[in-house]
């Protein structure tokens, strides 16, 4: 794809609140560079009351599209013209495409990013066993939907607030989600082929996630979607037990790559150069491929 005649730069952005921590500008700048395109991807802090005004500004200024992060992923829906099946099924939008005519279509690439990263970092993960998903927020919704779509037999959904777990299970479960009390999470590890942390626990500035992995079997895969820090205590504990682990950086990259494809029809890659840039932006030391999730 070339920059269209008459348009100096391709434009996209991410909106959220807060937003200054976002790694997306680094990622998309890398992909513009790789594709030889002149483009600009900015991170814009938008308060809930300013959402509609911001969306109109994107349309008026010929943006190709934008990403949406916390807290706007469901609040954006009324301002869109159409929802792609991914967004409809998950009930939230993380990517909007703006057509040349200004039509706004909502997509959700979080589930795709989650699965692509899982298949890359832990190919052959035991998809015939139940999955333990910790958390019942927006990320859990996208992840559980994606996992159910792959045909996993059962998801054990475990969250601090039980009502939220039950309501998510009722909403998206298709009879394949069992609700597990937060206090029972350690026991649930024993039956799981894959354990996914979608809570904020373990993230910089948050409390630690306490999870006993002693019940895990040798083939259990431990996936933490937290990427700051990249090597969370959960992943370190899993590695110390010799378990296969998946970190959260690849999910971020692959959801972004899927958005780049939607806007510009270009395959964006998670290459070593991008990984180095992201690690630097995170303040992490560059490390050997495989150790941090490639
Ligand atoms: P996201 O969109 O990233 O999923 P979210 O919707 O705010 O973010 O969800 C945050 C998740 O972290 C929720 O599952 C939340 O549990 P509650 O539903 O009980 O709020 C979980 N979480 C946050 N703080 C927690 C804590 N101290 N202990 C356990 N879970 C916690």
Confidence check: pLDDT of 275 > 90: yes
Per-residue pLDDT averaged across 244-273, rounded?
97
Residue nearest to atom 8 of ligand 1 (CA): 137
Distance in Å, CA 43 to ligand 1 centroid? 24
Domain that holds residue 95: 10-108+250-282
Please state the domain count of the chain.
2
Q: What integer pLDDT is reported at residue 286 of this predicted model?
A: 73
Mutation choice for ligand 1 from 137, 158, 179, CB with most ligand atoms inside 8 A? 137
Residues 84 and 56 in one domain: yes
What CATH number should be reported for the domain holding residue 140?
A: 3.40.50.720
E strand residue ranges, 162-275: 177-181, 194-197, 221-224, 244-246
Confidence check: pLDDT of 254 > 50: yes
- Separation CA 287–CA 261 (nearest Å): 28
Residues 103 and 175 in one domain: no
Confidence check: pLDDT of 292 > 60: no
Residues 23 and 98 in one domain: yes
Q: What integer pLDDT is reported at residue 2 of this predicted model?
A: 57
Residues 136 and 239 in one domain: yes
Q: Assess if residue 156 is contained within a domain.
A: yes
pLDDT band at 290 (very low <50, low <70, confident <90, very high): very low
Which has the closest alpha carbon to 35: 13, 10, 15? 10
Distance of CA 187 to the CA centre of its chain: 27
Residues 191 and 235 in one domain: yes
Q: What integer pLDDT is reported at residue 239 of this predicted model?
A: 98
Distance in Å, CA 188 to ligand 1 centroid? 19
Q: What integer pLDDT is reported at residue 6 of this predicted model?
A: 52
Convert the pLDDT of each residue in 63-117 to its tens digit.
999 999 999 999 999 999 999 999 999 999 999 999 999 999 999 999 999 999 9
Mutation choice for ligand 1 from 135, 186, 206, 225, CB with most ligand atoms inside 8 A? 135
Candidate list 11, 60, 73, 244, residue with the active-site label: 73
* Radius of gyration (C-alpha) of the chain in whole angstroms: 19
Per-residue pLDDT averaged across 182-203, rounded?
97
Residue nearest to atom 16 of ligand 1 (CA): 160
Closest ligand 1 atom to residue 164 Cα is 18
Buried (b) or exposed (e) across 133-148, using 16+ Cβ within 10 A?
Answer: bbbbebbbbbbbbbbb
Residues 147 and 256 in one domain: no
Q: What integer pLDDT is reported at residue 291 of this predicted model?
A: 41
The label of the residue with tokens 């806007």 reads 263
Mutation choice for ligand 1 from 136, 160, 181, CB with most ligand atoms inside 8 A? 160
Please indicate whether residue 56 is annotated as part of the active site.
no
Q: Which residues line ligand 1 (CB under 6 A)?
A: 70, 135-140, 159-161, 164, 198-201, 207
196: left (phi over 0), alpha (psi -120 to 50) or beta: beta
Sign of the CA dihedral 249, 255, 260, 266?
positive
Q: Look over the chain and give the mean of its residue pLDDT values, rounded to a whole number.
A: 94
Convert the pLDDT of each residue in 116-175 to its tens digit.
999 999 999 999 999 999 999 999 999 999 999 999 999 999 999 999 999 999 999 999
Distance in Å, CA 137 to ligand 1 centroid? 6
Residue nearest to atom 20 of ligand 1 (CA): 161
Convert the pLDDT of each residue in 204-216 to its tens digit.
999 999 999 999 9
How many Å is the maximal CA-CA distance in the chain? 61
Closest ligand 1 atom to residue 135 Cα is 14
Q: What integer pLDDT is reported at residue 158 of this predicted model?
A: 98
Confidence check: pLDDT of 287 > 80: no
Closest ligand 1 atom to residue 139 Cα is 4
Distance in Å, CA 28 to ligand 1 centroid? 28
Residues 52 and 178 in one domain: no
At a CB cut-off of 8 Å and minimum separation 6, what does 5 contact?
Answer: none
Residues 58 and 136 in one domain: no
Closest ligand 1 atom to residue 165 Cα is 18
Residues 158 and 186 in one domain: yes
pTM over 0.85: yes
């Amino acid at each position: 794809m070339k920059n269209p005649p008459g348009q100096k730069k391709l434009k996209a952005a991410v909106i959220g609140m807060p937003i200054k921590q976002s790694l997306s500008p680094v990622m998309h700048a890398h992909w513009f560079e790789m594709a030889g395109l002149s483009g600009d991807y900015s991170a814009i802090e938008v308060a809930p009351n300013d959402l509609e005004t911001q969306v109109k500004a994107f349309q008026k200024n010929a943006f190709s599209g934008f990403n949406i992060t916390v807290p706007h992923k469901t609040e954006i829906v009324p301002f869109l013209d159409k929802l792609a099946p991914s967004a409809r099924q998950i009930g939230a939008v993380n990517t909007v495409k703006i057509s040349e005519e200004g039509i706004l279509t909502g997509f959700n690439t979080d589930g795709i990013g989650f699965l692509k990263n899982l298949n890359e970092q832990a190919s052959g993960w035991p998809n015939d066993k139940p999955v333990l998903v910790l958390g019942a927020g927006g990320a859990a919704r996208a992840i559980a939907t994606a996992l159910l779509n792959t045909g996993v037999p059962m998801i054990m959904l475990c969250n601090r607030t039980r009502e939220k777990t039950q309501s998510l299970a009722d909403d998206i479960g298709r009879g394949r989600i069992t609700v597990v009390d937060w206090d029972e999470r350690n026991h649930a590890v024993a039956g799981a082929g894959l354990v996914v942390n979608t809570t904020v626990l373990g993230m910089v500035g948050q409390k630690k996630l306490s999870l006993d992995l002693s019940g895990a079997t040798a083939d259990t895969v431990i996936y933490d979607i937290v990427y700051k820090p990249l090597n969370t205590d959960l992943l370190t504990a899993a590695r110390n037990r010799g378990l296969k682990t998946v970190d959260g950086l690849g999910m971020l990259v692959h959801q972004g790559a899927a958005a780049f494809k939607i806007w510009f029809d270009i395959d964006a890659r998670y290459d070593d150069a991008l990984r180095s840039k992201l690690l630097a932006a995170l303040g992490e030391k560059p490390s050997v491929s495989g150790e941090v999730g490639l």
